[in-house]
Amino acid sequence: MAKLLIIDDDQETCIYLKGFFAKRGFQVITSFNGEEGILSFNKHRPDLVLLDVKLAGINGLEVLRQIREKDKRVSILMLTVLEDDSTRKVAEELGADGFIRKPFNMDELEGTVSRMLSKLVS
């Protein structure tokens, strides 16, 4: 069973995504801010992280940097409402594996997550 960590300060989004992916057989952990997300990552060592760019406290780019310092292999998919190419470039330079804009197309999100996880297995 793949382990998924969702880090997003929008609790409704976290709850929705948790239910969506749990129904598909994932073990899902949620965190509602950057600090909590880093602690959850260290504790649970997920296979994939869904990480919001804009978070209260430590922002998503800093969370990404700290996770990458600890683990180069975990897949990290950035989530954002921002249309800012410079943010995307920084995220890619820090090691983000993908980028999805909010609001989500759930088919696209599910497909992206599946592709990212299949790369870990192969």
Domain chopping of the chain, boundaries: 34-44+54-97
Q: Are 28 and 4 in contact (CB under 8 A)?
A: yes
The angle subtended at Cα 81 by Cα 78 and Cα 86, nearest 5°, is 70
| pLDDT tens-digit readout, 70-106 | 999 999 999 988 777 888 899 999 999 999 998 989 9
Rounded to an integer, the average pLDDT of 101-121 is 90
Per-residue pLDDT band at 14 (split at 50, 70, 90): very high
The candidate with the shortest Cα–Cα distance to 47, out of 63, 71, 31, is: 71
Please tell me the distance from the alpha carbon of residue 46 to that of residue 99, in angstroms, as a whole number: 18
Which residue do the tokens 């909590």 mark?
Answer: 36
Rounded to an integer, the average pLDDT of 50-66 is 95
pTM confidence score: 0.95
| pLDDT higher than 70, residue 122 | no
The candidate with the shortest Cα–Cα distance to 17, out of 117, 80, 109, is: 109
Q: What is the pLDDT of residue 45?
A: 97
Q: In this predicted model, which residue has the larger pLDDT, 57 or 6?
A: 6
First-to-last C-alpha distance (Å) of the chain: 16
| pLDDT higher than 90, residue 1 | no
- Alpha helices of 60-105 — where are they, by DSSP H? 60-70, 85-94
